[in-house]
Structure 1
């Protein structure tokens, strides 16, 4: 049975949770920048856990609209949509940040990334196909605002989707 208090509870919950999640991801990048940390570096990936947490939280929040539970498809749907919106907002925010921030930040990030990869080169070369992996990793480094946004979106959506499906199954009733 549906509650009639709020129209479109799946959409409302997903949009609210997704936008808040994306804003938190943007806030994390800004925090890194303002504390003189590399906003494009490995610490940025700590915010990759926000969308999965938000997806499950939105599934829990959706349950308050339904007396007998939202059902499987609504529960999975709200999680997937939350992850999609959160990832999209985070990617748009990182793209905007990268476009507005000093371009030297990206150059500094690339210098640090090359140094880290150079230090790990021996580890790559000890593995089968290590030279190819090393070259692919070096070539795959993001170096434009669009590439950073694409990387941000891909990482956030992947984790969000992986967690929202089992979360939806578990929280359907």
Structure 2
């Protein structure tokens, strides 16, 4: 086994460690919200969106630290960040899906009721804008109402924010 294969395995191990760990933290946050009688799919769940980007940065930092003084290079650090983000998003989305299936329909219905109330309260603001009525209807229709939709929403948000931070992190940690 040559050093390139060994260093690639190390990069993948770091991404696995930080990515799966971040996904588990996100799922734990959803469970905590549920246990504290807070809407586990509501706005407070979005606080966990910051976990995958932080995990990607920590993963990139760990890869950089192991390749000092020469540095790992942009490609290896970018791989660590992207892989960490994807693993965190997949783990989190799978956890949200499983949680939604286990807890049943009641928390989802509660979430929909709360979100429709919030949308109705901001309807006047929507209508003031050009095309606001159509925008309001799209927002109402796009509310996640199945475990699959909740998991998809979770995956998309975490992947997007994680990837956005992976690229500047890779540039910063490349040397």
- TM-score bracket, shorter-length normalisation: over 0.9
- Which residues of 2 match residues 1-173 of structure 1 at below 5 A? 8-67=9-68, 68-173=70-175
Q: Structure 2 unaligned runs (5+)? A: none
Shift of 1:132: 1.1
Shift of 1:81: 0.5
Name the CA distance, whole Å, in 2 between partners of 1:119 and 1:50: 30
Shift of 1:64: 2.5
Cα gap change, 1:117 to 1:7, in 2 (>3 Å): closer
Name the CA distance, whole Å, in 1 between partners of 2:82 and 2:74: 12
1:127-172, CA deviations, whole angstroms, 9 ceiling, x for partnerless residues?
1111111010000000000000000000000000000001101110
| Contact 2:8–2:76 (CA under 8 A) maintained in structure 1 | no
CA RMSD of the aligned region, Å? 1.5
Q: Structure 1 unaligned runs (5+)? A: none
Between structures 1 and 2, the one with greater helix share: 2
| Contact 1:40–1:109 (CA under 8 A) maintained in structure 2 | yes
Name the CA distance, whole Å, in 1 between partners of 2:160 and 2:134: 24
Cα gap change, 1:83 to 1:4, in 2 (>3 Å): closer
Cα gap change, 1:81 to 1:7, in 2 (>3 Å): closer
| Contact 1:106–1:143 (CA under 8 A) maintained in structure 2 | yes
